[in-house]
Structure 1
Amino acid sequence: MSKSLTAPLNIAMAQCNFHVGDIPGNTAKAIEAAQQAAAEGADLIVFSELALTGYPPEDLLMRPSLELRIAAALKEIAAVSHRIAVAIGYPVKRDNALFNCAGVWSKGECLGEYAKQELPNYQVFDEKRYFSAGQEACVVDLDGVKLGLTVCEDVWFDAPVSQTVEAGADLILNLNASPFHSGKQKERIELIKKHVSQHGVPLLYVNQVGGQDELVFDGSSFAVGVDSECVLQMASWKEDQAYLVYEDGQLRPQSASREAREDGLASLYNALVLGVRDYVNKNRFPGVVLGLSGGIDSALTLAVAVDALGPERVRAVMMPFTYTSGMSKEDAALQAEAMGVQYQSVSIEPMYKEFMSALAPDFEGLKVDTTEENLQSRCRGVLLMALSNKTGYMVLTTGNKSEMAVGYATLYGDMAGGYGALKDVYKTKVFALAEYRNTISPVIPQRVIDRPPSAELAPDQVDEDSLPAYPVLDDILERYIEQDESAEQIIAAGHERDDVMRVIRLVDVNEYKRRQASIGVRVTRRGFGRDRRYPVTNGWKAGI
């Protein structure tokens, strides 16, 4: 597609970590970035979707003061646009309908405002609860360059992009709040290259970065030129600002391309770190406390916590009992020392005995069962929560997705806490991540990784006494939870019928536990949170 000759347009892409609900703070952050870009000679700066509210704002969008707050923020954006044009996302109410909008502001005026057309209403998204869909393309003229506006989900469909091109866009701006899951960056780039190849119009993809409750946004913003090649790839997992020049239909980078980390263990690990860091910091906790058992899950959780917050804000507690091995005690102490955290050991034996003494009349004549095992875990939960209440440190839970799926966790015991670093990480991936973290620096003792997993709640207990081997279990779980395969499909894939039926039943009957679990970082296509909502009370027979 031929484009008329234009003067160069210097563009800044701003990948920011906004704070949901903090409209004044987000506005100040955007203005600071705009001023920096103007000082670097940029003519336009592009921010992410709903930058002024942060994403997702959820029911904050229903607050009666929203319009007044956004109006005040846009007044400040209009003021800074005398120095540099600003493309930014925000909610707008028109005729009693709320729209997810992107606007371009220049010289104190709004050149045009686009309302998002494709409102996602699947997985973690429920935008139709809040927004009405736009109907029309928006192309604005900035210094002779026609900028087409789109918002996030619009580029996952052809119609909004085609409509924008037909309206005369020279360059398409796509403002995003696209949460991370493993493999997503490759999907994004392939999608945008397809659009550019089809329409012959370059596109800027600007994504936010940061953690918001269970969601984590990787940034990884990029630009695709008219030849369908990435001309700029911004950093992942941190705030970033990059510069390009648009001239005569071509995009070229002004600043060196910063390659995003490849999808894989590095991306997954960094997602966990950023999710924990932002949850703790944005909620203003001074630090975290966790139970360090000498096992693989708490070992990886400690590493994530330290990398997120620094050792001075992390406290680890070993809580041994009769069945806790000497190896576990040694390995926990070794890792705590290697990572430089505050560490202590507090035996749960005295409090367990007190509980058992108080319960003796009720337990008389009854066999020992999981009740006694759960009591050990609940003693530990009480200790951690008491330390949390006294110090203000949030309890970081250590359970993984495999355990949460089948209910291999104790309510008000090891499930007690405020946030789960590994909540969406299968056990097999926990081992892989531990190995990966040790390539950065060897902080997790190797025998923690090598030994058979055990909750150490009974003599010589190992997890596989109660569960299939983790590679088997995790494959069944992934097929059932993320791919929605039936029991017969999973069996046809090579799994034993007894294993499949038992695992599926465990997943189904433990929904009540997951409803009471802390939130945690979402890193797969379907986590236990916003995007998996099954009724606790139901008569569905999964094996049919």
Structure 2
Amino acid sequence: MKLAGAALNQTPLDWENNLRNIKTAIEQAKAENVDILCLPEMSIPGYGCEDLFLSEWVSVECFERLLEIKEWCEGVIVCVGIPIRLNNTTYNCACVIRDKEILGFTAKQFLANDGVHYEPRWFSSWVPDTVEQFEAMGQTYQIGDIIYEHQGVKFAFEICEDAWRNENRPAYRHKPKGVQLIINPSASHFAMSKTDVRYHLVVDASRQFECTYLYVNLLGNEAGKMIYDGEIIIAQNGNLLLRNQLLSFKSVDFECAEVSFETPLPPVEMDLLPVDENMEFISAISLALFDYLRKSRSRGFVLSLSGGADSSLCAVAVAEMVRRAVEEIGLEEFAQKTNSLTPEEIEQYNQLANTEVRNILVGKLLVTAYQGTVNSSDDTYRSAEELAKSIGAVFYNWTIDEEVKSYRGKIEHVIGRELTWEQDDLALQNIQARVRAPGIWMLANLRNSLLLATSNRSEASVGYATMDGDTAGSISPIAGVDKAFIRQWLVWAQLQLGYEGLQYVNNLQPSAELRPLENTQTDEEDLMPYPLLNQIERLAFYNRLSPQQVFQELKGTYPDEQLRQFIQRFYSLWSRNQWKRERYAPAFHLDDYNVDPRSWLRFPILSGGFRQELSELG
């Protein structure tokens, strides 16, 4: 039997795009004489519709589209994701179509409710081993825990989270019923190193349940924050038969393989595959930026390039977005999707070397500006200018001292005294960051472009950012990763990806450069060492430990009194800065957790601030 999966780059409620991708996948399957084609979870409406799944009309619209899709399925079995709403309850379903006939709807039994997942808000769990009937548009259909059969092979489903539930997963009930093929349509979000876990989930299941397992994931930045890697895996009895390249720039990534059910492969043990998180990170963020750019119908990116680590990474991410996309889908499709080149330019640039093409496109898509003050150093200016030049980005340079002086003069006039660094340190730092926002926003508006905010997760945790200043932006692409990761990634990118323009930033200590230069301000002196900040953050909110437990876990890494001070500083800053995290620009989920209150981690804006817990620290 020939099995196929198609990872689709869908968009919530973009019916035209979603059906076009589904039709492309079905046509490819028919051209390859595929028996069974699996499409991702919720592939008709898009997985990220959120509260719209509670609307009756969305399910009706999806069903009407399903009837269109059904007519394309001549001579092939297609499994397509759809919400089914019965008696004011919505179920997450996979519909099985065979030769233009709907055989039934399998409903998801376990709903994801941790981390970034809120499925129980929208869907209800289906009761195992039950099948019901319902009517829709004049026809009667089956829905539930259904076993299907094709060419004497029984097949059934686990839908995404169903497979992650260990001893309760549906596969345990499928095996005694003689199921030889388990199909898993998924919308499993990207996180660094997660693909290893998913790989073993599939391969080990094929061995444990003595079956063939077909897994298909969603692809791309579907709805703004979550990224999907488009993984397709076919395994049999512990043997890997097919695994695709992840994080593709294609709209449809179609893969197929022949599988023998008469003489299945003998069981084997598979080794863990090595994962390079640095490569995973740039693959994910570049695809996320590409999809965000085209789906928001923006014309490019604008970036306040300070010469520091965070803004430098954002610039390189745009350059890598261009390089990777053009390399995979070609200049013509890239230009069509980003609306960045004329037909004449496409013909002209097709003759050029890869690096030249990348720099030309970056010049059309990325505008940067260095906004200096008397407190800015020559080192950061050189870092910004050389990096922009090396990747082809437009580079502007202006100073904001006049604007800062104007605001300072107005406030000094109304309060009747001069502002001093000894008395007014925070206000004098923040006004510089805030004054940078209007000009860079103006550039973004003029170009109909996305303004890239440059805050990282470490800064977000402790509020080390100026609201309406360096937090200003349409999208905050690196807010899901920590500062220590960013700094080592930039070194890796210089050495492994050849971005020599990063040599300048890689020789600098991170600094906000908001105090007078003679004060030699650095981030870690203001806060604490970044690796320690990340350890405290992870123990506190990923491992969910109390301040006292965090102290015991880290005891011995620093002198006790210094460690207490660092922990007290972290929790105090965390608590008082939740309001900032509520207002950050949308961020990508890239690591195994983040501090975004709209996705992974909720925390009250007003709280006791851990006062009692910190007073008992020791």
Pairwise CA distance, 1:307: 2.0
Distance 1:457 1:44 in 2: 61
Pairwise CA distance, 1:271: 1.5
What residue identity is the alignment partner of 1:448?
V
Match of 1:167 among 170, 173, 177: 177
Distance 1:412 1:28 in 2: 40
What residue identity is the alignment partner of 2:413?
P
Query: Structure 1 residues 428-437 or 480-489, which shifts more?
Result: 480-489
Residues 1:216 and 2:233 aligned together: no
Pairwise CA distance, 1:345: 0.7
Match of 1:50 among 15, 37, 42: 42
Match of 1:188 among 198, 201, 226: 198
Residues 1:528 and 2:585 aligned together: no
Asked if the contact 1:299/1:444 (under 8 Å) is kept, the reply is no
Give the SS at the match of 1:289. Answer: strand
For residues 197-236 of structure 1, what are the structure 2 equivalents within 5 Å? 197-211=207-221, 212-226=223-237, 228-236=238-246
Give the SS at the match of 2:452. Answer: strand
Counterpart for residue 307 of structure 1:
320
Counterpart for residue 524 of structure 2:
464
Asked if the contact 2:207/2:236 (under 8 Å) is kept, the reply is no
Pairwise CA distance, 1:263: 4.2
Pairwise CA distance, 1:198: 2.3
Residues 1:280 and 2:336 aligned together: no
Pairwise CA distance, 1:251: 6.7
Pairwise CA distance, 1:191: 2.2
Cα displacement string for residues 204-252 of structure 1 (whole angstroms, at most 9, x for unaligned residues): 11111111322111122212211x1222111110142111122225678
Pairwise CA distance, 1:485: 2.1
Cα displacement string for residues 136-181 of structure 1 (whole angstroms, at most 9, x for unaligned residues): 3322112322111221000012331112223331100011000011
Can you give the 5+ residue segments of structure 1 that lack an aligned partner in the other structure? 1-8, 253-258
Q: Cα RMSD (Å) of the superposition? A: 1.9
Match of 1:23 among 12, 15, 34: 15
What residue identity is the alignment partner of 2:523?
D
Query: Structure 1 residues 404-413 or 36-45, which shifts more?
Result: 36-45
Residues 1:143 and 2:210 aligned together: no
Give the SS at the match of 2:179. Answer: coil
Cα displacement string for residues 442-485 of structure 1 (whole angstroms, at most 9, x for unaligned residues): 24331311211101101221112211111222222222232222
What TM-score does the superposition give when structure 1 sets the normalisation length?
Answer: 0.93
Asked if the contact 1:170/1:249 (under 8 Å) is kept, the reply is no
Match of 2:606 among 534, 537, 542: 537
Query: Structure 1 residues 373-382 or 384-393, which shifts more?
Result: 384-393
Counterpart for residue 486 of structure 1:
546
Counterpart for residue 177 of structure 1:
187
Number of aligned residue pairs: give it.
529
Asked if the contact 2:382/2:504 (under 8 Å) is kept, the reply is no
Query: Structure 1 residues 49-58 or 440-449, which shifts more?
Result: 440-449
Distance 1:233 1:516 in 2: 39
Residues 1:134 and 2:123 aligned together: no
Asked if the contact 1:339/1:443 (under 8 Å) is kept, the reply is no
Asked if the contact 1:85/1:106 (under 8 Å) is kept, the reply is yes
Q: 1:43 to 1:59 in 2, by over 3 A?
A: same
Query: Structure 1 residues 292-301 or 356-365, which shifts more?
Result: 356-365
Distance 1:260 1:351 in 2: 54
Asked if the contact 1:225/1:250 (under 8 Å) is kept, the reply is no
Asked if the contact 1:236/1:261 (under 8 Å) is kept, the reply is no
Counterpart for residue 404 of structure 1:
460
Distance 2:153 2:25 in 1: 22
Residues 1:156 and 2:164 aligned together: yes
Cα displacement string for residues 354-408 of structure 1 (whole angstroms, at most 9, x for unaligned residues): 2122222234435332111111101111111122222211110111111111110
For residues 312-391 of structure 1, what are the structure 2 equivalents within 5 Å? 312-365=364-417, 366=419, 367-391=423-447
Residues 1:452 and 2:504 aligned together: no
What residue identity is the alignment partner of 1:201?
C
Pairwise CA distance, 1:536: 0.4
Which is richer in helix? Answer: 2
What residue identity is the alignment partner of 1:289?
V
Can you give the 5+ residue segments of structure 2 that lack an aligned partner in the other structure? 130-144, 266-271, 323-360, 558-562
Query: Structure 1 residues 495-504 or 401-410, which shifts more?
Result: 495-504
Match of 1:508 among 568, 571, 575: 575
What residue identity is the alignment partner of 1:486?
S
Distance 2:164 2:88 in 1: 28
Moved beyond 4 Å, runs of 4+: 249-252
Asked if the contact 1:150/1:172 (under 8 Å) is kept, the reply is yes
Give the SS at the match of 2:501. Answer: coil
Pairwise CA distance, 1:507: 1.4
Pairwise CA distance, 1:304: 0.6
Distance 1:176 1:250 in 2: 28
For residues 23-172 of structure 1, what are the structure 2 equivalents within 5 Å? 23-135=15-127, 136=129, 137-157=145-165, 158-159=167-168, 160-172=170-182
Asked if the contact 2:232/2:255 (under 8 Å) is kept, the reply is no
Match of 2:477 among 421, 424, 448: 421
Counterpart for residue 6 of structure 1:
none
Of all paired residues, the percent bearing the same amino acid is 27
Counterpart for residue 519 of structure 1:
586
Asked if the contact 1:333/1:343 (under 8 Å) is kept, the reply is yes
Query: Structure 1 residues 484-493 or 453-462, which shifts more?
Result: 484-493
Q: 1:117 to 1:143 in 2, by over 3 A?
A: same
Distance 1:364 1:342 in 2: 43
Counterpart for residue 256 of structure 1:
none
Pairwise CA distance, 1:81: 1.0
What TM-score does the superposition give when structure 2 sets the normalisation length?
Answer: 0.82
Distance 1:206 1:523 in 2: 20
What residue identity is the alignment partner of 2:182?
I
Give the SS at the match of 1:423. Answer: coil
Distance 1:528 1:282 in 2: 25
Cα displacement string for residues 315-335 of structure 1 (whole angstroms, at most 9, x for unaligned residues): 111101101111111111111
What residue identity is the alignment partner of 1:241?
F
Distance 2:88 2:178 in 1: 30
Q: 1:90 to 1:260 in 2, by over 3 A?
A: farther
Distance 1:219 1:55 in 2: 13
Distance 1:37 1:345 in 2: 53
Q: 1:43 to 1:482 in 2, by over 3 A?
A: same
Distance 1:416 1:12 in 2: 44
Counterpart for residue 135 of structure 2:
none
What residue identity is the alignment partner of 2:378?
G
Asked if the contact 1:77/1:86 (under 8 Å) is kept, the reply is no
